Structure 1
Amino acid sequence: MKEKLFISDLDNTLIGDDLSLEKLNKKLEKSRENHGTKIVYATGRSLFLYQQLTQQKPLLPPDALIAAVGTEIYLNPETEIMDQDWENYLSQNWHPKKILEITMQFPELTLQPEFEQGQFKISFNLSSQALQNIINPLEKALTEANLNVKLIYSGGKDLDIIPKEADKGLAVQFLQKKWQMSDKNTIVCGDSGNDIALFDTGHPQGILVGNAQSELKQWYQNNATEYRYLAHQEYAAGIIEGLEYFKLIE
Protein backbone atom coordinates (compact mmCIF):
# COMPACT_ATOMS: atom_id res chain seq x y z
CA MET A 1 0.00 0.00 0.00
CA LYS A 2 1.37 3.41 -0.94
CA GLU A 3 0.96 6.35 1.43
CA LYS A 4 -2.73 6.53 2.25
CA LEU A 5 -5.20 7.76 4.78
CA PHE A 6 -6.80 4.49 5.92
CA ILE A 7 -10.07 4.91 7.80
CA SER A 8 -12.20 2.11 9.17
CA ASP A 9 -15.22 1.61 11.33
CA LEU A 10 -14.56 -0.80 14.20
CA ASP A 11 -17.47 -3.03 15.26
CA ASN A 12 -18.38 -5.56 12.57
CA THR A 13 -15.96 -3.96 10.11
CA LEU A 14 -12.41 -4.11 11.43
CA ILE A 15 -13.55 -6.20 14.41
CA GLY A 16 -15.25 -9.58 14.07
CA ASP A 17 -12.57 -11.99 12.83
CA ASP A 18 -9.43 -11.96 14.98
CA LEU A 19 -7.26 -13.96 12.58
CA SER A 20 -8.04 -11.67 9.65
CA LEU A 21 -7.51 -8.64 11.88
CA GLU A 22 -4.01 -9.85 12.72
CA LYS A 23 -3.25 -10.26 9.00
CA LEU A 24 -4.60 -6.81 8.20
CA ASN A 25 -2.68 -5.25 11.10
CA LYS A 26 0.59 -6.58 9.68
CA LYS A 27 -0.16 -5.07 6.27
CA LEU A 28 -1.18 -1.72 7.78
CA GLU A 29 1.82 -1.62 10.09
CA LYS A 30 4.15 -2.30 7.17
CA SER A 31 2.51 0.45 5.12
CA ARG A 32 2.77 2.87 8.03
CA GLU A 33 6.47 2.09 8.51
CA ASN A 34 7.40 2.14 4.82
CA HIS A 35 5.10 4.82 3.41
CA GLY A 36 3.82 6.92 6.31
CA THR A 37 0.24 5.71 5.92
CA LYS A 38 -2.05 7.16 8.56
CA ILE A 39 -4.54 4.92 10.36
CA VAL A 40 -7.81 6.32 11.69
CA TYR A 41 -10.68 4.54 13.42
CA ALA A 42 -14.14 6.01 12.84
CA THR A 43 -16.59 4.52 15.30
CA GLY A 44 -19.98 5.04 16.83
CA ARG A 45 -18.43 4.15 20.17
CA SER A 46 -17.72 6.72 22.83
CA LEU A 47 -14.10 7.24 23.85
CA PHE A 48 -14.78 5.17 26.98
CA LEU A 49 -16.13 2.22 24.98
CA TYR A 50 -13.28 2.52 22.49
CA GLN A 51 -10.80 2.30 25.36
CA GLN A 52 -12.56 -0.84 26.57
CA LEU A 53 -12.24 -2.36 23.11
CA THR A 54 -8.49 -1.73 23.01
CA GLN A 55 -8.18 -3.95 26.08
CA GLN A 56 -10.06 -6.75 24.32
CA LYS A 57 -8.78 -6.66 20.73
CA PRO A 58 -5.31 -6.23 19.16
CA LEU A 59 -5.86 -2.82 17.60
CA LEU A 60 -2.94 -0.82 16.23
CA PRO A 61 -2.49 2.59 17.87
CA PRO A 62 -4.28 5.01 15.51
CA ASP A 63 -3.05 8.36 14.24
CA ALA A 64 -6.49 9.69 15.14
CA LEU A 65 -9.79 8.47 16.53
CA ILE A 66 -13.15 9.65 15.21
CA ALA A 67 -15.63 8.70 17.93
CA ALA A 68 -19.32 9.06 18.74
CA VAL A 69 -20.49 8.83 15.10
CA GLY A 70 -18.13 11.56 13.93
CA THR A 71 -18.84 14.12 16.64
CA GLU A 72 -15.51 13.71 18.45
CA ILE A 73 -11.94 13.72 17.09
CA TYR A 74 -8.92 12.72 19.16
CA LEU A 75 -5.46 13.05 17.62
CA ASN A 76 -4.15 11.10 20.60
CA PRO A 77 -6.92 9.03 22.20
CA GLU A 78 -4.73 8.23 25.20
CA THR A 79 -4.80 11.87 26.30
CA GLU A 80 -8.63 11.93 26.15
CA ILE A 81 -8.42 15.51 24.84
CA MET A 82 -10.73 16.30 21.93
CA ASP A 83 -9.32 18.32 19.04
CA GLN A 84 -10.00 21.90 20.10
CA ASP A 85 -10.74 23.24 16.62
CA TRP A 86 -13.35 20.52 16.02
CA GLU A 87 -14.91 21.04 19.44
CA ASN A 88 -15.19 24.80 18.93
CA TYR A 89 -16.67 24.31 15.48
CA LEU A 90 -19.44 21.99 16.68
CA SER A 91 -20.24 24.02 19.80
CA GLN A 92 -21.56 26.97 17.82
CA ASN A 93 -24.98 25.54 16.92
CA TRP A 94 -25.53 22.72 19.39
CA HIS A 95 -28.45 22.96 21.85
CA PRO A 96 -28.92 19.59 23.61
CA LYS A 97 -31.48 20.81 26.16
CA LYS A 98 -33.82 22.00 23.40
CA ILE A 99 -33.37 18.71 21.55
CA LEU A 100 -34.30 16.71 24.65
CA GLU A 101 -37.38 18.86 25.24
CA ILE A 102 -38.63 17.92 21.78
CA THR A 103 -37.70 14.24 21.87
CA MET A 104 -39.60 13.85 25.15
CA GLN A 105 -42.76 14.35 23.09
CA PHE A 106 -42.08 11.03 21.32
CA PRO A 107 -42.56 8.08 23.72
CA GLU A 108 -41.17 5.68 21.10
CA LEU A 109 -37.72 7.15 21.79
CA THR A 110 -35.80 5.67 24.72
CA LEU A 111 -32.56 7.31 25.79
CA GLN A 112 -29.58 5.00 25.67
CA PRO A 113 -27.30 4.66 28.74
CA GLU A 114 -25.13 7.59 29.78
CA PHE A 115 -21.94 5.98 28.43
CA GLU A 116 -23.51 5.99 24.94
CA GLN A 117 -24.19 9.74 25.06
CA GLY A 118 -21.65 12.29 23.85
CA GLN A 119 -20.87 15.96 24.12
CA PHE A 120 -22.35 16.40 20.64
CA LYS A 121 -24.48 13.25 20.34
CA ILE A 122 -27.82 12.25 21.85
CA SER A 123 -28.58 8.58 21.31
CA PHE A 124 -31.87 6.69 21.51
CA ASN A 125 -33.16 3.18 21.09
CA LEU A 126 -35.82 3.04 18.39
CA SER A 127 -37.28 0.03 16.60
CA SER A 128 -37.33 0.03 12.81
CA GLN A 129 -41.13 -0.21 12.89
CA ALA A 130 -41.47 2.83 15.15
CA LEU A 131 -38.98 4.72 12.99
CA GLN A 132 -41.41 4.78 10.07
CA ASN A 133 -44.09 6.34 12.26
CA ILE A 134 -42.12 9.12 13.92
CA ILE A 135 -39.19 10.07 11.69
CA ASN A 136 -41.03 12.72 9.67
CA PRO A 137 -42.84 14.33 12.65
CA LEU A 138 -39.59 14.29 14.64
CA GLU A 139 -37.60 15.95 11.87
CA LYS A 140 -40.36 18.52 11.42
CA ALA A 141 -40.44 19.35 15.13
CA LEU A 142 -36.66 19.78 15.27
CA THR A 143 -36.67 21.97 12.17
CA GLU A 144 -39.49 24.16 13.44
CA ALA A 145 -37.46 24.71 16.62
CA ASN A 146 -34.59 25.99 14.44
CA LEU A 147 -32.32 23.17 15.57
CA ASN A 148 -29.56 22.54 13.04
CA VAL A 149 -29.21 18.77 13.48
CA LYS A 150 -29.14 15.54 11.53
CA LEU A 151 -30.60 12.15 12.41
CA ILE A 152 -28.59 8.98 11.82
CA TYR A 153 -30.28 5.59 12.09
CA SER A 154 -28.31 2.35 12.06
CA GLY A 155 -28.41 -1.26 13.12
CA GLY A 156 -32.20 -1.36 13.11
CA LYS A 157 -32.25 0.12 16.61
CA ASP A 158 -29.94 3.12 17.09
CA LEU A 159 -31.01 6.71 16.45
CA ASP A 160 -28.37 9.41 16.94
CA ILE A 161 -29.07 13.13 16.85
CA ILE A 162 -25.93 15.13 16.11
CA PRO A 163 -24.98 18.59 14.81
CA LYS A 164 -25.58 19.05 11.09
CA GLU A 165 -21.90 19.98 10.77
CA ALA A 166 -20.79 16.57 12.07
CA ASP A 167 -20.70 12.96 10.97
CA LYS A 168 -17.99 10.45 10.16
CA GLY A 169 -17.49 11.80 6.64
CA LEU A 170 -17.18 15.44 7.69
CA ALA A 171 -14.74 14.42 10.42
CA VAL A 172 -12.65 12.67 7.76
CA GLN A 173 -12.63 15.85 5.66
CA PHE A 174 -11.42 17.78 8.70
CA LEU A 175 -8.48 15.37 9.05
CA GLN A 176 -7.78 15.44 5.31
CA LYS A 177 -7.43 19.20 5.48
CA LYS A 178 -5.27 19.04 8.62
CA TRP A 179 -2.95 16.46 7.04
CA GLN A 180 -3.21 17.81 3.47
CA MET A 181 -4.45 14.52 2.01
CA SER A 182 -6.91 14.16 -0.84
CA ASP A 183 -9.76 11.77 -1.60
CA LYS A 184 -7.60 9.85 -4.07
CA ASN A 185 -5.28 8.97 -1.17
CA THR A 186 -8.12 8.08 1.20
CA ILE A 187 -9.70 4.66 1.73
CA VAL A 188 -12.76 4.21 3.97
CA CYS A 189 -14.32 0.99 5.28
CA GLY A 190 -17.67 0.34 6.93
CA ASP A 191 -20.63 -1.96 7.53
CA SER A 192 -23.69 0.01 8.69
CA GLY A 193 -25.93 3.00 8.13
CA ASN A 194 -23.81 5.34 10.22
CA ASP A 195 -20.94 4.65 7.80
CA ILE A 196 -22.82 6.03 4.78
CA ALA A 197 -21.32 9.45 5.49
CA LEU A 198 -17.84 7.93 5.16
CA PHE A 199 -18.60 6.81 1.62
CA ASP A 200 -20.81 9.71 0.58
CA THR A 201 -18.69 12.69 1.66
CA GLY A 202 -16.36 13.49 -1.21
CA HIS A 203 -15.11 10.64 -3.40
CA PRO A 204 -12.79 8.41 -1.36
CA GLN A 205 -12.23 4.80 -2.32
CA GLY A 206 -14.64 2.76 -0.23
CA ILE A 207 -14.83 -0.84 0.95
CA LEU A 208 -18.09 -2.30 2.26
CA VAL A 209 -17.39 -5.55 4.09
CA GLY A 210 -19.38 -8.61 3.05
CA ASN A 211 -21.35 -8.65 6.31
CA ALA A 212 -22.57 -5.07 5.77
CA GLN A 213 -26.06 -4.42 7.09
CA SER A 214 -29.02 -4.16 4.75
CA GLU A 215 -29.35 -0.37 5.00
CA LEU A 216 -25.78 0.10 3.77
CA LYS A 217 -26.04 -2.53 1.03
CA GLN A 218 -29.23 -0.90 -0.22
CA TRP A 219 -27.51 2.49 -0.27
CA TYR A 220 -24.56 0.97 -2.14
CA GLN A 221 -26.85 -0.53 -4.79
CA ASN A 222 -28.49 2.85 -5.30
CA ASN A 223 -25.14 4.68 -5.44
CA ALA A 224 -22.75 2.22 -7.07
CA THR A 225 -19.56 3.70 -8.55
CA GLU A 226 -16.18 2.36 -9.62
CA TYR A 227 -14.55 3.73 -6.48
CA ARG A 228 -16.74 1.72 -4.07
CA TYR A 229 -16.40 -2.02 -3.59
CA LEU A 230 -18.71 -4.49 -1.84
CA ALA A 231 -16.52 -7.33 -0.60
CA HIS A 232 -17.56 -10.98 -0.54
CA GLN A 233 -15.61 -11.72 2.63
CA GLU A 234 -16.55 -10.44 6.05
CA TYR A 235 -14.92 -8.17 8.64
CA ALA A 236 -11.16 -7.57 8.26
CA ALA A 237 -10.95 -10.23 5.55
CA GLY A 238 -13.34 -8.11 3.51
CA ILE A 239 -11.10 -5.08 4.01
CA ILE A 240 -8.09 -7.06 2.76
CA GLU A 241 -10.15 -8.20 -0.24
CA GLY A 242 -11.07 -4.60 -1.00
CA LEU A 243 -7.50 -3.36 -0.66
CA GLU A 244 -6.42 -6.06 -3.12
CA TYR A 245 -9.26 -5.11 -5.49
CA PHE A 246 -8.05 -1.50 -5.54
CA LYS A 247 -4.46 -2.78 -5.91
CA LEU A 248 -3.42 -1.02 -2.73
CA ILE A 249 -1.67 -4.10 -1.36
CA GLU A 250 -0.01 -7.09 -2.97
Structure 2
Amino acid sequence: MPSTRILIVEDDHEIARLTAMYLNSEGYDTKIINDGALALDAINQYQPALLILDLMLPGLSGIEICTQARTFFKEPILVLTACNDELSEVNLLQLGADDYLTKPVRPHVMAARINALLRRSKAPKKPNYDAIELKRLKIDPRRQRVEFRGEVLELTDSEYDLLLLLTKNVGKIISREECCQQLRGIDHDFSDRSIDMRISGLRKKLNVDCSSKQLIKTVRNKGYMLLNE
Protein backbone atom coordinates (compact mmCIF):
# COMPACT_ATOMS: atom_id res chain seq x y z
CA MET A 1 0.00 0.00 0.00
CA PRO A 2 1.57 3.33 -1.06
CA SER A 3 2.47 5.88 1.62
CA THR A 4 0.34 8.98 2.10
CA ARG A 5 1.90 11.91 0.25
CA ILE A 6 2.51 15.22 1.99
CA LEU A 7 3.87 18.24 0.14
CA ILE A 8 5.90 20.67 2.27
CA VAL A 9 6.13 24.24 0.95
CA GLU A 10 8.68 25.91 3.21
CA ASP A 11 11.58 28.25 2.32
CA ASP A 12 13.54 27.58 5.51
CA HIS A 13 15.64 24.62 4.38
CA GLU A 14 16.37 23.36 7.89
CA ILE A 15 12.74 23.49 9.02
CA ALA A 16 11.68 21.77 5.80
CA ARG A 17 14.34 19.07 6.21
CA LEU A 18 13.46 18.36 9.84
CA THR A 19 9.72 18.34 9.07
CA ALA A 20 10.21 15.88 6.21
CA MET A 21 12.50 13.70 8.35
CA TYR A 22 9.93 13.51 11.13
CA LEU A 23 7.02 12.80 8.78
CA ASN A 24 9.04 10.16 6.95
CA SER A 25 9.66 8.44 10.30
CA GLU A 26 5.88 8.47 10.79
CA GLY A 27 5.42 6.62 7.49
CA TYR A 28 4.53 9.52 5.19
CA ASP A 29 6.00 10.14 1.75
CA THR A 30 7.16 13.78 1.53
CA LYS A 31 8.30 16.27 -1.06
CA ILE A 32 9.80 19.70 -0.32
CA ILE A 33 9.33 22.91 -2.31
CA ASN A 34 11.31 25.96 -1.15
CA ASP A 35 9.93 28.54 -3.60
CA GLY A 36 6.30 29.68 -3.56
CA ALA A 37 6.38 30.24 -7.31
CA LEU A 38 6.82 26.48 -7.82
CA ALA A 39 4.13 25.41 -5.35
CA LEU A 40 1.07 25.27 -7.60
CA ASP A 41 2.79 23.16 -10.25
CA ALA A 42 4.13 20.87 -7.52
CA ILE A 43 0.62 20.36 -6.09
CA ASN A 44 -0.66 19.39 -9.53
CA GLN A 45 2.22 17.04 -10.26
CA TYR A 46 2.70 15.45 -6.83
CA GLN A 47 -1.02 15.16 -5.97
CA PRO A 48 -0.49 15.15 -2.18
CA ALA A 49 -3.07 13.97 0.34
CA LEU A 50 -2.18 17.02 2.46
CA LEU A 51 -0.32 20.29 1.92
CA ILE A 52 1.89 21.88 4.61
CA LEU A 53 2.21 25.53 3.63
CA ASP A 54 4.46 28.21 5.08
CA LEU A 55 2.89 31.66 5.22
CA MET A 56 5.93 33.74 4.24
CA LEU A 57 7.48 32.51 0.99
CA PRO A 58 9.53 33.92 -1.88
CA GLY A 59 7.87 34.02 -5.29
CA LEU A 60 4.29 33.58 -4.13
CA SER A 61 2.93 34.06 -0.61
CA GLY A 62 1.11 31.40 1.37
CA ILE A 63 -2.12 33.38 1.08
CA GLU A 64 -1.81 33.56 -2.72
CA ILE A 65 -0.99 29.86 -2.96
CA CYS A 66 -3.91 28.94 -0.70
CA THR A 67 -6.36 31.02 -2.72
CA GLN A 68 -5.23 29.70 -6.10
CA ALA A 69 -4.81 26.10 -4.95
CA ARG A 70 -8.40 25.97 -3.70
CA THR A 71 -9.65 26.26 -7.28
CA PHE A 72 -8.38 22.72 -7.97
CA PHE A 73 -6.98 21.19 -4.75
CA LYS A 74 -9.61 19.78 -2.39
CA GLU A 75 -7.37 18.05 0.14
CA PRO A 76 -6.43 19.52 3.57
CA ILE A 77 -4.10 22.52 3.84
CA LEU A 78 -2.15 22.99 7.09
CA VAL A 79 -0.47 26.38 7.37
CA LEU A 80 2.73 27.04 9.31
CA THR A 81 3.13 30.64 10.39
CA ALA A 82 5.45 32.66 12.60
CA CYS A 83 2.90 35.47 12.53
CA ASN A 84 0.80 36.27 15.61
CA ASP A 85 -1.37 38.71 13.70
CA GLU A 86 -4.89 37.38 14.26
CA LEU A 87 -6.27 39.13 11.18
CA SER A 88 -3.77 37.41 8.91
CA GLU A 89 -4.68 34.01 10.34
CA VAL A 90 -8.42 34.69 10.07
CA ASN A 91 -8.01 35.69 6.44
CA LEU A 92 -6.00 32.56 5.72
CA LEU A 93 -8.66 30.30 7.21
CA GLN A 94 -11.32 32.15 5.23
CA LEU A 95 -9.32 31.66 2.03
CA GLY A 96 -9.31 27.90 2.38
CA ALA A 97 -6.78 26.69 4.95
CA ASP A 98 -8.10 23.87 7.13
CA ASP A 99 -5.85 24.46 10.12
CA TYR A 100 -2.69 26.29 11.17
CA LEU A 101 0.23 25.94 13.54
CA THR A 102 2.39 28.75 14.90
CA LYS A 103 6.16 28.26 14.77
CA PRO A 104 8.11 26.83 16.44
CA VAL A 105 6.07 23.72 15.78
CA ARG A 106 6.13 20.77 18.16
CA PRO A 107 6.40 17.58 16.04
CA HIS A 108 3.87 15.56 18.04
CA VAL A 109 1.32 18.39 17.78
CA MET A 110 1.87 18.57 14.02
CA ALA A 111 1.39 14.81 13.75
CA ALA A 112 -1.87 15.00 15.71
CA ARG A 113 -3.20 17.80 13.49
CA ILE A 114 -2.19 15.96 10.31
CA ASN A 115 -3.80 12.72 11.48
CA ALA A 116 -7.02 14.55 12.35
CA LEU A 117 -7.13 16.40 9.01
CA LEU A 118 -6.47 13.23 7.01
CA ARG A 119 -8.98 11.23 9.04
CA ARG A 120 -11.67 13.83 8.39
CA SER A 121 -10.87 14.11 4.69
CA LYS A 122 -10.98 10.33 4.21
CA ALA A 123 -14.09 9.75 6.32
CA PRO A 124 -17.10 8.52 4.35
CA LYS A 125 -19.76 11.14 3.87
CA LYS A 126 -22.60 10.92 6.35
CA PRO A 127 -26.10 10.16 5.09
CA ASN A 128 -28.03 13.08 3.71
CA TYR A 129 -29.73 15.27 6.30
CA ASP A 130 -32.98 17.10 5.89
CA ALA A 131 -32.68 20.78 5.09
CA ILE A 132 -32.32 23.02 8.13
CA GLU A 133 -34.33 26.24 8.05
CA LEU A 134 -34.10 29.03 10.61
CA LYS A 135 -35.52 32.55 10.43
CA ARG A 136 -32.56 33.97 8.49
CA LEU A 137 -30.52 30.88 7.71
CA LYS A 138 -31.09 27.83 5.50
CA ILE A 139 -28.71 24.90 5.14
CA ASP A 140 -28.99 22.12 2.56
CA PRO A 141 -26.54 19.41 3.78
CA ARG A 142 -27.04 17.36 0.62
CA ARG A 143 -25.34 20.06 -1.43
CA GLN A 144 -23.41 21.71 1.43
CA ARG A 145 -25.26 24.92 0.51
CA VAL A 146 -25.88 27.76 2.96
CA GLU A 147 -28.25 30.67 2.38
CA PHE A 148 -28.48 33.75 4.59
CA ARG A 149 -31.52 35.94 3.96
CA GLY A 150 -31.80 34.32 0.52
CA GLU A 151 -28.17 34.95 -0.45
CA VAL A 152 -25.83 31.99 -0.96
CA LEU A 153 -22.74 32.15 1.27
CA GLU A 154 -19.30 30.96 0.16
CA LEU A 155 -17.89 29.07 3.14
CA THR A 156 -14.73 27.01 3.55
CA ASP A 157 -15.24 23.36 4.54
CA SER A 158 -14.12 24.17 8.09
CA GLU A 159 -16.53 27.09 8.38
CA TYR A 160 -19.37 24.97 7.01
CA ASP A 161 -18.67 22.12 9.46
CA LEU A 162 -18.62 24.54 12.38
CA LEU A 163 -21.83 26.28 11.27
CA LEU A 164 -23.57 22.92 10.82
CA LEU A 165 -22.53 21.89 14.34
CA LEU A 166 -23.93 25.13 15.80
CA THR A 167 -27.10 24.86 13.74
CA LYS A 168 -27.80 21.34 14.97
CA ASN A 169 -27.56 22.72 18.50
CA VAL A 170 -29.41 26.00 17.92
CA GLY A 171 -30.12 27.78 21.20
CA LYS A 172 -27.60 25.63 23.08
CA ILE A 173 -24.10 26.60 24.25
CA ILE A 174 -21.31 24.70 22.50
CA SER A 175 -17.93 24.98 24.22
CA ARG A 176 -14.66 25.52 22.38
CA GLU A 177 -13.57 22.10 23.63
CA GLU A 178 -16.63 20.48 22.08
CA CYS A 179 -16.03 22.31 18.81
CA CYS A 180 -12.43 21.07 18.64
CA GLN A 181 -13.40 17.52 19.55
CA GLN A 182 -16.28 17.38 17.07
CA LEU A 183 -14.44 19.04 14.17
CA ARG A 184 -10.93 17.72 14.68
CA GLY A 185 -11.32 14.55 16.68
CA ILE A 186 -8.50 15.67 19.00
CA ASP A 187 -8.39 17.28 22.40
CA HIS A 188 -8.63 21.04 22.70
CA ASP A 189 -5.41 23.02 22.99
CA PHE A 190 -5.97 26.15 25.05
CA SER A 191 -3.21 27.97 23.14
CA ASP A 192 -5.02 27.36 19.88
CA ARG A 193 -7.34 30.05 18.48
CA SER A 194 -8.54 28.41 15.27
CA ILE A 195 -12.11 27.89 16.56
CA ASP A 196 -12.33 31.56 17.57
CA MET A 197 -11.04 32.54 14.14
CA ARG A 198 -13.57 30.40 12.31
CA ILE A 199 -16.29 31.96 14.46
CA SER A 200 -14.94 35.40 13.50
CA GLY A 201 -15.00 34.47 9.82
CA LEU A 202 -18.54 33.11 10.07
CA ARG A 203 -19.75 36.25 11.83
CA LYS A 204 -18.46 38.43 9.02
CA LYS A 205 -20.16 36.29 6.40
CA LEU A 206 -23.39 36.11 8.41
CA ASN A 207 -23.50 39.88 8.70
CA VAL A 208 -23.76 40.61 4.98
CA ASP A 209 -27.01 42.49 5.57
CA CYS A 210 -25.20 44.85 8.00
CA SER A 211 -27.60 43.76 10.73
CA SER A 212 -26.68 44.67 14.28
CA LYS A 213 -28.00 41.29 15.46
CA GLN A 214 -25.31 38.63 15.26
CA LEU A 215 -26.51 35.07 14.83
CA ILE A 216 -23.59 33.63 16.78
CA LYS A 217 -23.43 34.73 20.40
CA THR A 218 -20.36 34.41 22.61
CA VAL A 219 -21.23 33.17 26.10
CA ARG A 220 -18.34 34.27 28.27
CA ASN A 221 -16.22 31.44 29.66
CA LYS A 222 -18.64 28.90 28.23
CA GLY A 223 -18.59 28.92 24.43
CA TYR A 224 -20.82 29.86 21.52
CA MET A 225 -24.53 29.74 20.76
CA LEU A 226 -26.39 30.06 17.47
CA LEU A 227 -29.54 32.17 17.82
CA ASN A 228 -32.67 31.74 15.74
CA GLU A 229 -33.46 35.44 15.33
TM-score, normalized by the shorter chain, greater than 0.5: no
TM-score, structure 2 normalization = 0.36
By relative contact order (CA 8 Å, sep 6+), the higher-ranking structure is 1
Compare the two structures and name the one with the higher helix fraction.
1
TM-score, structure 1 normalization = 0.33
